Homo-oligomer: A and B are copies of this chain.
Amino acid sequence: MMARRTLTIGRLATAAGVNLETVRYYERVGLMPPPDRTVGGHRSYAPEHRSRLAFIRRARELGFSLDDIRRLLALAEPGRQSCSEVKTIAAEHLLDVQAKITDLTKLAAALADAVRKCGEGDVPDCPVIEVLGRA
């Protein structure tokens, strides 16, 4: 039997909007602490697991790596004077993201250009192939 206010792994995963296997994975890699177990060996999660998993999920949505998240979780411990360290991690990640946007934007322009030429008809060879094939 399970104490009140505890969650099975399945309910925890559903509540946080992640895959059940992902929760086990996070435990394996040390992002989620091992929960209590029922007599039969099933995982039994407390509310703090739930908020921790939600934290991880939101950080993943913002594109932080699991390594970043590990550090963020450590810095999120109450009482840590950590805002500047957190800011560093987030600011670095922001730079990464901005760089990726720049790259992808150029890439999209090149793709759009090639695709647009395809639609104009009267092209001897496929413009996309031509773009890729030219030395």
Could you say which of A6-14, A26-34, A38-46, A112-120 contacts chain B?
A112-120
How many subunits of this chain does the assembly comprise? 2
A115 touching B87 by the CB < 8 A rule?
yes
Given contacts A97-B104, A110-B62, A111-B97, contact A128 B90 (CB under 8 A): yes
A76 touching B129 by the CB < 8 A rule?
yes
Which residues of A (70-88) have their CB < 8 Å from a CB of B?
72, 75-76, 82-84, 86-87
- Which residue from B76, B111, B127 sits with its C-beta under 8 Å from A62? B111
Which of the four size classes fits the interface of chain A? 35 or more
A101 to B107, CA, bound (A): 10
- Which residue from B61, B87, B97 sits with its C-beta under 8 Å from A128? B87
B118 touching A94 by the CB < 8 A rule?
no
A62 to B76, CA, bound (A): 38
14 interchain pairs, CB-CB under 8 A: A51-B135, A62-B111, A62-B132, A63-B104, A75-B126, A82-B126, A83-B118, A83-B127, A87-B119, A89-B128, A90-B115, A94-B112, A101-B101, A101-B105
